[in-house]
Chain A
Amino acid sequence: MAFASKKDDEGLSAYYNNKTTVIQEARVFNDSPISPRKCRALLTRVVHLLYIGESFSTQEATTLFFGTTKLFQHKDSALRQMVYLAIKELAGTAEDVIMVTSSIMKDMQPNSEVIYRPNSIRALCRIIDPSMAQGVERFFKAAIVDKTPSISSAALVSSYHLFPNAKDVVKRWANEAQEAVNAKSSTSLFGSSTGGGYLSGWGGSAGQQSSGYQAVPSASYITQYHALGLLYLIRQQDRMAVTKMIQQLGGGKTGAGTTLKNPMALCMLIRYAAKVLEEDPNVQKQMLDLLDGWLKHKSDMVNLEAARVICEMKNVPTFQLMRAIGVLQLFLSSPKATLRFAATRTLAALAVTHPSNVASVNVDLENLISDSNRSVATYAITTLLKTGNEASVDRLMKQISGFMNDISDEFKVIVVDAIRSLCLKFPDKHVSMLSFLSGVLRDEGGYDFKRAVVEAIFEMVKYISACREQALSHLCEFIEDCEFTKLSVRILHLLGIEGPKAPQPTKYIRFIYNRVVLENATVRAAAVGSLAKFGLNSNDAGLKKSIDTLLNRCLDDVDDEVRDRAAMYLRLFRESFLADTYVKEESVFSLDALESKLVSYVNDPSASIVPFDASSIPKISRAQAAAEVARPSSLETVGVPAKKEAAATPQLSAVEAQSAYIQQLKEVPELATYGEVLGSSKPAQLTESETEYQVSCVKHTFAEHIVFQFNVSNTIPDTVLEQVAVVMQPLTESNLTEDFIIPLPSLSSTTSPGIVYVSFTRDSPEEYASGSFQCVLKFISKEVDPATGEPEEDGYEDEYQLEEVELGAGDYIIPTYVTFSSEWDRLRGGASATETFSLSAMESLKAACDSIIEILNMQALGGTEDPSSTSVHTLQLAGLVVGAGGAGKALVRCRMTYSKAQGVTLELSVRAEKEEACSLVVSAIGG
């Protein structure tokens, strides 16, 4: 790597390649006559400094830049190329770089010598600003299809860099890029576009000799790779076009008809195919056929890429998967380490999901466990750990212990993760695994490695009770000498939870108290919390007393946090109801919701006159909270090479979605005066899934308004919709008055989805308005002229019937978690109501539970959403009812019976902090 070389060079040329010296010596640029040799050497040093990460100030860069431009048009071709390199590197920092535009353009022209054209094209794209792209369009179009590969490549790569800032212009170069991809033979020996320039080179004068450039025919066809990259960049928003491109360039079923000769271009094509596959299951068959063909391609690179894509695919047919594994198997015995590495790495990832299929190459993997390339050996062993049986575990672990010290932390983490998943698969092996883990915990290693080990031990504590005590002891020993504060804190927390339940809680106290004496403030504070839990959760009076003494000592700590914690816990010791709330309570605030409310509270200066109101923040159970932060279960992550981004985008949780909505609505000026959004529904689909226009609706509840957000997608590539609006017609008296519609000025397939808002005022905000609305999508449809990319003048008005939108009780309720029994008791004196309903149409208790939860949008508690009996059941629900005067809790108890004859009979009881909330719930079920 470039940066690594900085160190090596230091002794040799620290002075020679020092920034200040270089800037001083830049005087040579002004010498007359110019010395090409000196200037070239100096420019090399400038570029070298930039490559190793040295940075120049704007002024220094500008001075060097202008000095460099004085060398322009020098007849020494090596100097001229160096000038271009320096200009490219300095262009980012120097000022007024636009000065060289005319000079560079001169070198780009077809009558310029071939050697300068690629250099100048590449330099130009660093110099010009996006508004000038239009001006060079004609030139770029010609250069992209130039027969000289270096010119064509330079133009393609430069277009690629220009694209982000000049999309509309570069998009128009797609035809040329397509031509460059297809170029049958990149160049013939004499095919240079400069014609006679070099042919008459011999016997010519001195001047001509310097231009004796030979257009080297490209054997690599690298231009195809560059052209494909640009084409994809232009088309990536349009899945249909990408699919077509893959089919066309893929070369038919066997792949034999492809015009792509460059293996890197084919690898890119395979990656695009993988992306399309993931997004559109309909093309699976065609794409798999293509991939199958590429497995037999003559280039290793292409085979590997195709095999990897097949292995990473979801629901791939077994025979196809086995073919990919077969290809990888061949590479396992390759003399080239890179091929063995690529193959084992792919197999290691595949072993997580398909261990039995991978097991078919176990024999070949066995041969690699002592591979001289430790990375290959590590992957081979971790793969075998996943595919092998219990009997082989000990042997493999011994093998790998042998070279744990030879491999990098990154690979150590892979090994540890493999062991971690093995613990769960073969719990009986816990003794040897725990001793392996505790052993490596003592080894040297960085944070990531140590964290992996600690987390693996955590998981053993959690799932394998037989080794719990032993594991906790190892952790205690580890924190005696742990340099990572974060890990100490996590271990202390775990000890606080698990320790008091252990047969001999007292044996952990010493380790924990040592932290209070020896460590930094963060760790000391964690230790105080941990100690306190032993005192609070134990029935042993003696233990309680000693903890009390220890905490009292902490009151003298120099750190505020440590003292405060000690003082707080001592108070909890005396007042047990506080202990119930702060230590034993099972629900916690949803952190995402708490964060976003706090952020908007802090950002709104006018809000600071009233205290922060936590009542509208939903709560979740500790288990849920743990699930939210948990990393994916180890079984899924073991040894998987870094996942592609697509797979990593998780479904937004409801709370995260809510935070996103708050942000989004804040950016709409028309809604600025509405205040904070109180709640938002899940999106409801208003169209069939395969229609031309797709619309979904999200309802946002504000204190005095309801805002309907319509997400509209236009799936037709060649039309633009203008003045897109949704017209809503209440079907019943709704107590809502329409304020306005915020239409979308224009919507194309690439800008989809767009948002249309419709706002209503709640006529009487203390009531919960409800009703159904008929919705119609209206717009003006215009064709797009394929030549210019602009919509045509004339369009026609059109409309499209959508499904109805319902506003109901659920739109005023946010699900929240509570401890049902105690909360139900507490609300005994509040508003309450009980009614009985006969739901004769319901076919089961489960169906009744589902529809009640859906209507009320409340949180089902204690697993009561899944009835265990088919005849009697009690469903318990909790929610926050949002209203003008803040939110209030509402709890619902649904006692149900079911019989074939009568369907479901429901006794609905509600207890709420506010009267309106009670009637809202009852009317929602009754009405």
Chain B
Amino acid sequence: MDPFYSHYPFLEGAKEIVKEITPHYTQDEILDKAQDRLESAVGKGEVPTVGTTARGIELDLLSYAAARMVLVAAKNKAMCARVAAAEGRRAQKYLQQESDEKLLSIAKELELGLTKESGGFFALPFFDYLRFKPREEEFKLSAKPIAGGVVTLSRKEAERFVQEAARMKMDVLVHVSDMKFSPQILEIGKKAIALLPKASAPIENIAKTDFPPCMCRIIEDMKNGEHIGHQARWALGVYLVRSGMKMEEILSIYAESPEYNENTTKYQLEYLKNKEYSMPSCATMDTYGLAQNNCPCLYGGARKGTPVTNSRRRTGITRIEEKK
């Protein structure tokens, strides 16, 4: 059996094969493999590569499909993000060995307008570059040869973009409201969620009581691995350094994000602290689209105060001081 789709099970063609081979296996066989796959992706951040027997390849494909089902049932964004990243890395191992033509056809299915150039180079349209840009420093637009709306990439960079496009495709939780999942599937989901890496100090006991709804929302989004905008990141940073919390406490909040990097975060927070930025007002937060409707800052249609002053009013705690 051609293992192609077991290498890239997120491609459309995989669905057909899954439909075809499902009757050949028992549900327990499939779910056991799915559980292994998920627990490895969530716990270790990696998905094992495929064996070479026909049975191994088929079960591998089926385990991917079943694992997707578990993700949908579990409705946990953080888990979905972590699995997508792990599956993307696994796909990259196979991409390295593909011909240029195969690489291009996979890119095309992922809506990446990659084309082949002379001299072993690849070309990517500027707007695709921005949309699928990996986070590494080396992909800063200013470091890349760009001309006429096209960015020139090496083969290795092209592979990285295909990996990123695959990750983005898998980092989407399909919302199904009327579907019933078997208790077995829900159980696998619960067990996998328990394996998500934990930050040392849980934030819940502080956040739910002291923080205003706008900050809770940003933290929630961050924890779920959602891409939070620059302004949200900045506002949260200013809020936290103003809150009088210890640096370790603040870092533990950021640590729950799947993208967390201690050094970068620490550096950014120190920067905010030294610059003594003032907290944006709740009215400004509103124009950023960050304010929440259930916030005590709302008085007769207008927003008063800042998230810092409003945390204090809400809870009566004095620990959070507005710095003059």
Q: Decide whether A and B assemble into one complex.
A: no
**Which residues does A use to contact B, with CB under 8 Å?**
none
